[in-house]
Amino acid sequence: MKDSIKRILALTRKECYQAFHSPALYGTAVFFILFVSIWFFYLNRFFIRDTASLRMFFAGFPLAFILVIPVITMKSWAEERKLNSLEILLTMPFSEWELCLGKFLSSLLSLLPMILLTVPVPISLFPLGDFDAGVIAGEYIGALLLGASAISLGLFLSALSKNQAASFLGSAVVLMIIMLINQFTAWASLPAWLSQALNYISLSFHFESFARGLLDSRDLAFFILTTALFLFLNTRVLIRRRWS
């Protein structure tokens, strides 16, 4: 167990070193911060709402993740295949789970600073109203869980892709669907059972309770289970490639 953790951390450090030396990551961070800020202050007109709530600020996170997450995950496996280094990686003393967890943790650590860089926004607004710090903390927890689920999905799609472009496009399209499908059910005249089913698979639908500052155990379990599911599917892809 201890050796397995060491291998996971070694791979995570290696992936983080490559990620943080990539200009794309810093460009993506700038885009993310600008997007959520413009979404909150300009498009949703925070200063004329006269309410001490950051709900609309965090509502922009799922939209931004549609483009941010594919940029973070597109190189993870697709680049390994392009450079023919995946076969070498699979011959090293790493299990499939160790490889997936190393890639996942490095991607999550790439996203975490972007989320933390948005903290000055609520801090700067504290003097303007009676904001609930506990609610904001819950909203950030939800954003991190949402990002973890989206990253695991992006890694799985990257493992299925032959190049970065296909990985980015596939991840962006799938994330757009599962992020926005609850918006479709809100205005479409669908049977109640179908609307509930579609809402259940929507990541942003499960994020709504966190955006309100509520820690719903059902939504918490959903994010944890979806993250584990896509990591498991990722290992299945690697096992197939190891023996193909």
**Positive or negative: CA dihedral 131, 132, 136, 137:** positive
pLDDT higher than threshold 70 for residue 135: yes
Confidence tier at 244 by pLDDT (50, 70, 90): low
Cα(214)–Cα(229) distance, integer angstroms: 24
212-223: pLDDT as tens digits: 777 888 999 999
Burial of 56 (0-12, 13-18, 19+ CB in 10 A): middle
Phi, psi of 154 (to 5 degrees): -65, -40
Residue spans of alpha helices (H) in 20-95: 23-38, 55-73, 78-82, 86-91
The lowest-confidence range among 70-74, 125-129, 216-220, 234-238 is 125-129
Cα(79)–Cα(82) distance, integer angstroms: 5
Count of CA atoms in the C-beta half-sphere (13 A) of 40:
22
40-76: pLDDT as tens digits: 888 887 777 767 778 888 989 999 999 999 999 988 8
25-40: pLDDT as tens digits: 999 999 999 999 999 8
Is the entire prediction scored with pTM above 0.85? Answer: yes
Domain edges within the chain: 2-243
Burial of 204 (0-12, 13-18, 19+ CB in 10 A): buried
Q: Which residues contact 148 (CB under 8 A, 6 or more apart)?
A: 104, 108, 223, 227
Mean pLDDT of 115-144: 88
Per-chain mean pLDDT for the chain = 87
Phi, psi of 161 (to 5 degrees): -95, 155
Cα(149)–Cα(227) distance, integer angstroms: 5
pLDDT higher than threshold 90 for residue 90: no
Contact in structure between 54 and 139 (CB atoms under 8 Å): yes
Which of the 8 DSSP states describes residue 160? H
Question: Residue 107's closest CA among 227, 241, 238?
Answer: 227
Per-residue model confidence (pLDDT) at position 214: 79
